[in-house]
Amino acid sequence: MWLNRLMWTAYQAYHLRGQCQIPFKSLDAIKRTQARRVQSMVSHAYRTVPYYRETMDRLNLIPSDFLCAEDLAKLPLLERDQLQRDPEYFVSTAEPLNRYLMLRSGGSTGTPCTVYHDTAALFQNAAHGERERSIIATLVGRSLGYRETVIGARLSTAQEVQELCLKRAFFPPGIRIRRQYLYLLDPPEKIIPQLNEFQPDVIHSTFGSYLEILFPFLYNTGGPFHRPKVITFSSTGLSDSVRRLISQTFGIPVLSTYQAVEAFKIGFECRKGLGLHLNIDLYPVRIININGETVCAGESGDVVVSNLVNRATVLLNYRLGDIACMQQDPCPCGRSLPLLSFPQGRSDDLIHLASGQIVHPQFVRLIFTNEDEIWQYQIVQESTTHFRVAVVAAKSCNCPETRGRLLAKFASIFGLDTKVDISFIDFIDRTAGKFRTVISMYQRSQ
């Protein structure tokens, strides 16, 4: 065990080298690295992943047909529901399944799914984070040993990954970032005293929309609050008005990151605030129209990503579920990584309770996270005590039993007087790739 930890410590140290400089390399050099990763990943996928071997054989494709990221479009567009319905079909057989870390998405797309990650990819991910951490370190004033509060799910992806890395490698206390994990379903009244006690240099919200609850509360109450040096957020977006409130009224810089359970370090925002720098050597991105064709820079469409890092669940040419566009001009910050606009759409409504409390939509999404036979869902809040729920379920699903479980979960969270109408349907309409899992008609009527 000691030798194994020493090996992973050396592995991470090796991958940490030069990460801060990679975004400033020439675009040609970055694309050469990208091409090598494409060739390696496609070869790995063909050898060890059932989906790619069968698909490429059916299309008369071989690994040598894939020389660069543009060639990944030769593969069929991979949809989220395919991954959701048969996750092991996309998992490499190079290692036993129990050697991989299994992570479950938070369900912000209405289709929660399972993704497996190999240990090497997890350590590489920690190293790749140096690209954005170098910006954060400048704002904090130091790169090592600072304090960071992560506001997320009870056991967030970030927490699971960190715990695995801490178990398998050595991280001296003075070097590693000291992290505090808080629960985003807790109200601001509970979160704020914990922040004040820990006094973080950085606050990171895994759902940017939680900041829509926290900072208006701070502004309206005027209570004591330890101000961090920087705030970062990912997943669901942050409105321009609340972002201005944080940056101008509270005087705290705000930076966003672009990541998902399917692809950890897709992009990050620099201080110029013009968009997200894409780590295209790790996660090539293309934007497609309704016909699946790649569009020109400046034109909005669906985000399609390929993960060239994770060798457990292999995802190439995968529709992520976001809408964005590639920026035409380079960023004046000097980084060569191309810019993506901030993703549009898929921003769920906040939930208003009869008590007057406002809670994050993840509060209700958690009801569905571990329901393996529910493929898709959508919740509409009609009033503070009335919800309508549409569910797309597997054919094998026992609908009466599932309905009973869902009703019990709603009652345990929102109270016994909550009325919930549950409909099992064949599909849920989507418009131009945008999809919202939680819609509050009550909020819109106010």
Q: Residue holding tokens 């289709």?
A: 111
- Which pair of tokens denotes residue 249? 């009224």
Side-chain-side CA neighbours of 434 within 13 Å: the count stands at: 12
* DSSP one-letter code for 78: B
Sequence-distant (6+) residues with CB within 8 A of 177 are 144, 145, 146, 147, 148
Residue 242 CA to residue 240 CA, distance in Å, equals: 6
Co-location of 279 and 372 in the same domain: no
Same domain, 365 and 339: no
The answer on 368 and 320 residing in a single domain is no
Q: What is the DSSP letter of 338?
A: P
Contact call for residues 149 and 197 (beta carbons, < 8 A): no
If one compares 207 and 403, the residue with the highest pLDDT of the two is 403
pLDDT score recorded for residue 110? 58
pLDDT tens track for 227-279: 999 999 986 678 888 899 999 999 999 999 999 999 999 999 999 999 999 99
Q: Pick 351 or 283 by higher pLDDT.
A: 283
Q: What is the mean pLDDT of the chain?
A: 90
Q: State the pLDDT confidence band at 8, using cuts at 50, 70 and 90.
A: very high
DSSP single-letter state for residue 344: B
Question: Rounded CA gap, 285 and 70, in Å?
Answer: 10
Q: Give the rounded distance of the alpha carbon of 45 from its chain centre.
A: 23
Domains: count for the chain: 2
Among 302, 343, 295, 262, residue whose Cα is nearest residue 430: 302
What lies within 8 Å, CB to CB, of 109 at 6+ separation is 80, 321, 346, 435, 437
pLDDT digits (tens, 9 = 90+) for 326-383: 999 999 999 999 999 988 755 567 788 887 777 777 777 778 877 878 888 889 999 9
311 and 394 inside one domain? no
Which pLDDT value is given to residue 235? 66
Query: Which contiguous run of DSSP H or E holds residue 82?
Result: helix 80-85
Nearest 10 degrees: CA dihedral of 202, 205, 206, 212?
-160
List 230's β-bridge partners, or say none: 202
The domain in which residue 392 lies consists of: 351-445
Is residue 108 over pLDDT 70? no
In 336-425, DSSP assigns E strands to 339-340, 351-352, 358-359, 374-383, 386-393, 419-424
123-160 pLDDT, tens digit per residue, is 999 999 999 999 999 999 998 889 999 998 777 788 88
What gap in Å lies between CA 239 and CA 254, rounded to an integer?
12
Give the CATH number for residue 370: 3.30.300.30
- The Cα 324–Cα 302 span in angstroms is 7
Question: Are 415 and 288 members of one domain?
Answer: no
Q: Which residues make Cβ contacts (< 8 Å) with residue 62, sequence separation at least 6? A: 46, 56
d(CA 155, CA 435): 25
**Token pair belonging to 298:** 């400046």
Give CA–CA dist 436/430, Å, rounded. Answer: 9
Q: Yes or no: say if 200 and 148 are a contact pair by the CB < 8 Å rule.
A: yes
Same domain assignment for residues 62 and 85: yes
pLDDT at position 433: 45
Confidence of residue 282 (pLDDT cuts 50, 70, 90): very high
Q: Are residues 147 and 241 in the same domain?
A: yes
Element (DSSP H or E) covering residue 30: helix 27-48
Q: Structure tokens of 137? A: 């370190």
Written as six digits, the tokens of 347 are 């921003």
Model pLDDT for residues 97-106, shown as the tens digit of each residue: 999 999 987 6
More confident residue, 444 or 217: 217
Q: 207 or 101: whose pLDDT is higher?
A: 101
Residue scoring higher pLDDT (217 or 362): 217
Residues 378 and 323 placed together within one structural domain of the fold: no
Read off the pLDDT band of 184 (50, 70, 90).
Answer: confident
Q: How far apart are CA 266 and CA 107, in angstroms?
A: 19
Q: What 3-state DSSP class applies to 221?
A: helix
pLDDT at 438 over 90: no
Determine the pLDDT at residue 348.
67
**Model confidence band, residue 444 (pLDDT cutoffs 50, 70, 90):** low
432: pLDDT confidence band, cut at 50, 70 and 90?
very low
365 contacts: CB under 8 Å, gap ≥ 6: 106, 107, 108, 437, 438
Of 282, 317, 345, the position where a domain reaches its end is: 345
Regarding whether 359 and 338 lie in a shared domain, the answer is: no
Of 319, 345, 371, the last residue of a domain is 345
Q: Considering only CA atoms, which of 349, 290, 297 is closest in space to residue 324?
A: 297
The per-residue pLDDT for range 294-337, each reduced to its tens digit, is 999 999 899 999 999 999 999 999 999 888 999 999 999 999 99
Domain shared by 226 and 373, yes or no:
no
Smallest Cα–Cα separation from 195: which of 217, 227, 242? 227
Q: Which residues pair with 196 in a beta bridge?
A: none
Which class for 247: exposed (0-12), middle (13-18), buried (19 or more C-beta within 10 A)? middle
Residue 418: CB atoms within 10 Å: 18
The answer to whether residues 288 and 295 touch, using CB atoms and an 8 Å cutoff, is yes
Q: Which helix (H) or strand (E) holds 268?
A: strand 267-269
Burial-class residue 167 by CB neighbours within 10 Å (0-12, 13-18, 19+). exposed
CATH code at 80? 3.40.50.12780
Tokens of 162: 């960190």
pLDDT confidence of 435, banded at 50, 70, 90?
A: low
Which of 345, 379, 394 finishes a domain?
345
340 & 359 share domain: no
- Tell me what percent of the residues of the chain surpass a pLDDT of 90: 65
Report the C-alpha gap between 50 and 319 in whole angstroms.
19
Contact 84, 92 (CB under 8 A): no
Q: Do 111 and 207 lie in a common domain?
A: yes
Confidence of residue 81 (pLDDT cuts 50, 70, 90): confident
- Residue 251 CA to residue 248 CA, distance in Å, equals 5
